[in-house]
Structure 1
Amino acid sequence: MSAPNPTACLLVIGNEVLSGRTQDANIRFLAIGLGELGIPLREVRIIPDVAQTIIDTVNEVRAKFTYVFTTGGIGPTHDDITSECVAAAFGVPWEPHPEAWARMERSYPPGGFNAARQRMATMPRGATLIDNALSVAPGFQIGNVYVMAGVPRVMQSMFEWLAPKLQGGAKVVSRAVHAIGLAEGLIAEGLTGVQARYPDLDLGSYPFYRPSGNGVSIVAKGTDAARAEAAIAEVTTLIAGLDRTPVQGEPPE
Structure 2
Amino acid sequence: MSKFAIHLSFNVISCEGCGIKRIRGVPCADCERRPEPWEVDSAALCRRQRAVEAQQILAQAADQSEHRELGAPEFLHAEVYAALHTWMTGFFDAVSAAAESQEGAQRLKDSVTELVGLRAALHRADDRRPMRQLISALRGLIAELESMVGAYLETLLASTPLQAQNHGARAQRHLDAATEAITRVESVSEAVEILTHQRDASRTQAQLLQLALGSAQQPNLLALDSWGRDSLWEITGSRGTAGHGVFFGICRVIAQNLFNDGQFCYVLRRAYQLFSSSPKSS
TM-score interval, normalised by the smaller of the two chains = under 0.3
Give me the TM-score of the superposition, normalised by structure 1.
Answer: 0.25
Q: Which of these two proteins has the greater Rg computed from alpha carbons?
A: 2
Higher helix share: 2
Q: Per chain length, whose mean CA-contact separation is higher, i.e. which structure has more relative contact order (CA < 8 Å, sep 6+)?
A: 1
TM-score (structure 2 length as normaliser): 0.23
